[in-house]
């Protein structure tokens, strides 16, 4: 128990020592890691609120009612639903039922809503992309700066240079490279996961829109197509 307490107490001190040894680049990497973690946590919450992992059961039930010729029941099934799938399905149905829109106009409006929803789903991912790129570059910058300082100290020492001192300077410089990769790797994993979720949402939304337009009740398809002609 005492050994565990000593290790736990030593961790903050060691982390602070690593920040000091790494110099300004290490502080920048530390700030980048905090920002990346905050973006990841926020993005998980944002996708949960958008129903990214809900499966779209209500949307599927609404599309089934729509295909069965019950547009009122279909829109009622989507009332109050805030998931991206439900919002897209509701927008497609409303476009088809809008007397001011012909068939092409309804498709254009549905496409516009889909692009807006997907842009919302991808919000915040640019920050993770930046962390993936900038993290290793900051680490490399810190390492190069540290190596320059180490070899400069070696030159000033001349023939009395201590190899151990040079080795210590090198490993201190390499800390920033390791820290940069430690930030970039989790950010890349999270980014890939979020991209997969957004791709799945895009597929589901395209599928829902196609089914809504292809299975629209005859009373709706006749009016828009006639207006388009």
* pLDDT tens-digit map of 87-127: 999 999 989 888 888 888 989 999 999 999 999 999 999 99
Read off the pLDDT of residues 152-211 as tens digits, 9 standing for 90 and up. 766 666 656 566 656 666 766 778 888 899 999 999 999 999 999 999 999 999 999 999
Angle between helices 2-22 and 163-214 (to 10 degrees): 90
Burial degree of 202 (CB within 10 A; 0-12, 13-18, 19+): middle
Q: Give the chain's radius of gyration (CA, Å).
A: 28
Angle between helices 71-78 and 84-97 (to 10 degrees): 150
Residue 130 has pLDDT above 70, yes or no: yes
**With pLDDT > 90 as the criterion, what percentage of the chain qualifies?**
39
Evaluate whether 62 touches 178 at the Cβ level (below 8 Å).
no
The structure's pTM equals 0.78
- Distance between CA atoms of 143 and 136, rounded to whole angstroms? 10
* Range with the poorest average pLDDT among 10-19, 81-90, 113-122: 10-19
User: How many residues comprise the chain?
Assistant: 229
Q: Regarding predicted confidence, which is higher, 13 or 208?
A: 208
Place of tokens 């292809």: 214
Contacts (Cβ under 8 Å, ≥6 apart) of 23: 142, 145, 146, 176
* Mean pLDDT to the nearest integer, 70-97: 88
Specify the pLDDT at position 151. Answer: 72
């Amino acid at each position: 128990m005492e050994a565990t307490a000593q290790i736990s107490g030593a961790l903050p001190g060691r982390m602070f020592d690593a920040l000091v040894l790494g110099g300004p680049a290490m502080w920048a990497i530390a700030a980048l890691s905090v920002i990346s973690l905050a973006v990841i946590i926020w993005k998980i919450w944002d996708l949960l609120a958008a129903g990214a992992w809900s499966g779209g059961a209500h949307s599927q039930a609404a599309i089934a009612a729509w295909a069965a010729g019950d547009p009122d029941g279909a829109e009622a099934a989507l009332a109050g639903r805030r998931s991206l799938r439900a919002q897209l399905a509701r927008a497609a149905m409303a476009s088809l039922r809008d007397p001011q829109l012909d068939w092409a106009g309804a498709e254009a409006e549905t496409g516009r809503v889909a692009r807006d929803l997907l842009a919302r789903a991808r919000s915040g991912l640019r920050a993770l992309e930046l962390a993936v790129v900038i993290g290793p570059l900051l680490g490399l910058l810190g390492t190069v700066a540290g190596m320059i300082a180490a070899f400069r100290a070696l030159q000033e020492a001349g023939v009395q240079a201590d190899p151990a001192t040079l080795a210590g300077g090198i490993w201190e410089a390499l800390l920033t490279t390791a820290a940069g990769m430690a930030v970039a790797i989790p950010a890349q994993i999270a980014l890939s996961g979020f991209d997969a979720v957004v791709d799945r949402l895009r597929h589901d939304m395209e599928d829902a829109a196609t089914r809504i337009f292809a299975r629209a009740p005859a009373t709706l398809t006749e009016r828009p197509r006639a207006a388009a002609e």
